[in-house]
Structure 1
Amino acid sequence: MGVVEGGLDHPDVIALLNLHLQSMQLYSPLESIHALNIDELRREDVTFWSIWQERKLKGCGALKMLDPDHGEIKSMRTSPEHLREGIAQRLLEHIIIQAKQRGCCRLSLETGRVEAFLAARRLYEKTVLAIAPPLLITAKIPTVSL
Structure 2
Amino acid sequence: MRIAPDDPLAADVRALLEEHLADMRRISPPESVHALDPELLAAPAVRFLAARDDDGTLLGCGALTSLGGGDAELKSMRTAPAARGRGVAAAVLVELIRHARERGDRRVLLETGTEPFFEAAARLYLRHGFTPCEPFGDYALDPHSRYFALAL
- What TM-score, normalized by structure 1, do the two folds share? 0.88
The answer on whether the counterparts of 1:68 and 1:103 sit within 8 Å (CA) in structure 2 is: no
Name stretches of at least 5 consecutive residues in structure 1 with no aligned partner: 130-135
Q: Which residue of 1 aligns with 2:150?
A: none
Aligned length: 139
Alignment of 1:114-133 (within 5 A): 114-128=115-129
CA distance in 2, matches of 1:81, 1:69: 35
Two-structure CA RMSD over aligned residues (Å): 2.0
Q: Is the 8 A contact 2:71 2:106 kept in 1?
A: yes
Q: Name the residue aligned to 1:90.
A: 91
**Counterpart AA for 2:97:** I
1:23 to partner: Cα distance: 0.7
**Structure 2 residue matching 1:128: 3-state secondary structure:** coil
CA gap of 1:139–1:57, structure 2 versus 1, over 3 A, is farther
Q: 1:139 to 1:74 in 2, by over 3 A?
A: farther
Note the C-alpha offset of 1:44: 2.0
Q: Contact 2:7–2:13 at 8 Å: present in 1 too?
A: yes
Equivalence for 1:43: 43
Question: Identity over the aligned pairs, expressed in percent?
Answer: 37
Counterpart amino acid of residue 6 in structure 1: D
Residue identity opposite 1:114 in structure 2: E
4+ long deviations beyond 3 Å: 136-142
**In the aligned structure 1, how far is the partner of 2:13 from the partner of 2:96?**
18
Larger relative helix fraction: 1
- Tell me the alpha carbon deviations over residues 85-137 of structure 1, each in whole angstroms, 9 at most, x when there is no partner: 100000011111111111110111010001100100000000116xxxxxx88
Q: Give the whole-Å Cα distance in 2 for the aligned partners of 1:78 and 1:144.
A: 21
User: Structure 1 pair 78/20, CA: closer, same or farther in 2 (3 Å)?
Assistant: same
> Quick one: which amino acid aligns to residue 40 of structure 1?
L
Gaps of 5+ in 2: 136-140, 146-152
Deviation per CA, 1:48-97, whole angstroms, max 9, x where unpaired?
A: 11000021100000001110511000000000111111000000111111
2:72 paired residue number: 71
Counterpart of 2:3 in structure 1 is 3
Distance in 2 (alpha carbons) for counterparts of 1:70 and 1:138: 13
TM-score (norm 2): 0.84
Equivalent position amino acid for 1:86 in 2: G
